[in-house]
Amino acid sequence: MAIYDTGVPDELLTGMRLARGAIARGELVVIPTDTVYGVAADAFSATAVQSLLDAKGRDRTAPPPVLVPSLATLDALADPIPDEVRALVDEFWPGGLTVILRARSMLEWDLGETRGTVALRMPSHPIALELLAETGPLAVSSANRTGEPAAMSAADAEAMLGDAVTVYLEAGPAGEGYPDAAAHAGSTIVDATNLEHPDGKLRIVRHGVIPDDEIVRVVGAERCA
């Protein structure tokens, strides 16, 4: 277990190489994102996802979101994609918006008790995107013990998760690009599963770095609960 400063070229190369290897072995890695630091695992390894939940002190009723490397991955993992969701991701991806959708039934993964849904986000942090481009989708949750404050640095995460994580990637303070990050750390989470119905509405599940009124502006008040 070590912290690698991605602002130092040699440490960046070493840290990314070790992070890729750890993910491939089903181990955990702490990565910077644009909102908070996250603890990441191979989304398609049930054992790795369980290790993530165990590290956080969480059970299967709180499945982790999945971070994706590109907009194109959205269609590979979820179906249907309502027009309102496409408008939201066009506006806020990459960035601090997580969208809950119906997962494609053919996907062979076990994220927990998802009831057939998946929470997806494309982060805007270059280190996260570089790793995702090489590993594919990752199950990622905030790098803290459940009930503790969100980690805003790799050192914060290491203090809470310790040896449960193989590699820590440090890239400076998280959340600096969002004015509301201090009050609402973490991504804004919306549940779009009801939008597949003509009279269904989008529901804001968690207030985060994207203000609620920005969500309503894009989707329209008539489509928001």
The model's pLDDT over 32-70, given as tens digits with 9 standing for 90+, comes to: 999 999 999 999 999 999 999 999 999 999 999 999 999
What's this model's pTM, rounded to 2 decimal places? Answer: 0.96
Q: What percent of the chain has pLDDT over 70?
A: 100
The CATH number linked to 86 is 3.90.870.10
Q: Which one is predicted more confidently, 177 or 78?
A: 78
Look-up of token digits 């996907």: 107
pLDDT tens profile 140-168 = 999 999 999 999 999 999 999 999 999 99
Instruction: Flag whether pLDDT at 180 surpasses 80.
Output: no
Residue 176's pLDDT is 85
| CA gap 82, 120 in Å, rounded | 14
Question: DSSP state, 161?
Answer: H
Residue 184's pLDDT is 77
Q: What contacts 208, CB < 8 A, 6 or more positions away?
A: 35, 96, 97, 98, 180, 184, 185, 186, 187, 188, 189
Q: How many domains does the chain have?
A: 1
